[in-house]
Amino acid sequence: MEEILKLQQKIVPELIELLEKRYNILRTIYYNQPIGRRILANNLELGERIVRTEINFLKSQNLIDINTPGMTVTKEGEEIIDKLKNFIHEIKGLSEIELKIKKALGLKSVIIVPGDMDEDKTVIKEIGRAGANILKSTLKSGYTIALTGGSTIKEVVDSLSKINNIEDVLVVPARGGMGINVETQANTLAANLSKKVNGHYKMLHVPDNISDKILESILKEKDVKNVLDSIKSSDVLIYGIGKAEEMALKRGMEVSKVKSIVDSGAEGEAFGCYFDKKGKLVCSTSVVGVTLSDTKRIPIVIAVAGGSSKADAIISTEFGNSNSTLITDEGAARGIMAIIKEL
């Protein structure tokens, strides 16, 4: 199969390019349906004439329907998207890149979805589906799941279909709240995930970034201690990855502190910890929840992040995490490969 793909790429590369283009159009319609032609063209950054030609072809093959509200993908179209996913993965050589990144960073496994989240917002949904599939395949009755907040983690939760063949699953937020968007905060996502896994949840009603004096007092509270004990004994941890400077500013750090972290070489952030390009801990904030030492004890660790701009951040947070499964996209993966060659 791999040999045939390589031959096709050499002899008829335009065929592969056309396949990718039609796959991307079909996938974009699926994740934004119903969607109009003009918006589709803008999302894909393609000319309307090109989009019109491809839409006519997809319609003739009964892969999409065109109605007043906009275009939608048919059942047959959904099947095509699903079947093409692995094929696109192979023709882009992503399996080989997965193995190289796994070896270079010392990870348990790496899963790459096609596309770049920075250029195509629908890719975040593919990352979410991949994360949901990993979670579903590892989850067992009696497990405790800890998860952080963020838009990518929200996609994992949203993509998970309801599981009814397990029971007594506990879901807890991996850390306190951050920001003003309630929909993507860890407490909200923990509650939503518990419904999907036929389980129950606990909440951590503590700000994510507080002074050491207040933190010491809060940790004595029985309810808070109870949740923290559950976090530390988790079987599964799901977390997102951010760029160091961006996350420091989001946490409301003083500009001088942010500058100090960046000057120390921090590239990425995860669960309140800031790491340099070789995975060394540069700074750890007063976060209520999961700690770096906790992540070494938790058996199943799933890191989720995408976008070519996150390549440095992903390397810094994932370097040497032997129990971690990294789920990312092609944009970030190719960026990681370029950086690895220079290290």
- Name, of 21-25, 40-44, 71-75, 214-218, the range with top average pLDDT: 71-75
Pairing of strands 273-276, 236-240: unpaired
For residue 343, what are its two tokens?
């290290």
What is the band of 14 on the pLDDT scale with cuts at 50, 70, 90? Answer: confident
Per cent of the chain over pLDDT 70 is 91
Whether residue 30 contacts residue 77, with contact meaning beta carbons closer than 8 Å, is answered with yes
Tens digits of per-residue pLDDT, 148-186? 999 999 999 999 999 989 999 999 999 876 555 778 888
Of 259 and 216, the structure prediction assigns the larger pLDDT to 259
All domains of the chain in start order, with CATH:
2-91 (1.10.10.10), 94-342 (3.40.50.1360)
pLDDT of res. 9: 67
Whether residue 326 contacts residue 101, with contact meaning beta carbons closer than 8 Å, is answered with yes
Q: Taking residues 180-208, report their average pLDDT.
A: 86
For residue 318, give the nearest of 297, 343, 298, 292 by alpha carbon: 292
pLDDT of res. 139: 94
Report the alpha-carbon distance of residue 119 to residue 110 in Å, rounded: 21
Of 178 and 254, the structure prediction assigns the larger pLDDT to 254
Q: Cα dihedral sign for 137, 143, 148, 150?
A: positive
pLDDT of res. 8: 67
What are phi and psi for residue 251, nearest 5 degrees?
Answer: -80, 0
Of 312 and 175, the structure prediction assigns the larger pLDDT to 312
Q: Taking residues 52-70, report their average pLDDT.
A: 93
Average pLDDT value for the chain:
88
Q: Taking residues 71-80, report their average pLDDT.
A: 94
Alpha-helical segments (H) within the chain: 2-11, 13-32, 37-44, 48-60, 75-91, 94-105, 123-138, 151-159, 186-196, 212-218, 222-232, 244-250, 255-263, 292-297, 311-318, 330-342
Q: Taking residues 201-217, report their average pLDDT.
A: 71
Tens digits of per-residue pLDDT, 102-131? 999 999 999 999 999 999 888 999 999 999
pLDDT of res. 113: 95
pLDDT of res. 287: 65
In the block, residue with structure tokens 């389980």: 199
Q: Taking residues 292-306, report their average pLDDT.
A: 93
What is the band of 229 on the pLDDT scale with cuts at 50, 70, 90? Answer: confident
Per cent of the chain over pLDDT 90 is 58
pLDDT(236) > 70: yes
pLDDT(275) > 70: yes
Q: Taking residues 32-57, report their average pLDDT.
A: 91
pLDDT of res. 3: 65
DSSP for 241-260? -EEHHHHHHHTT--HHHHHH
pLDDT(83) > 90: no
What is the band of 208 on the pLDDT scale with cuts at 50, 70, 90? Answer: low
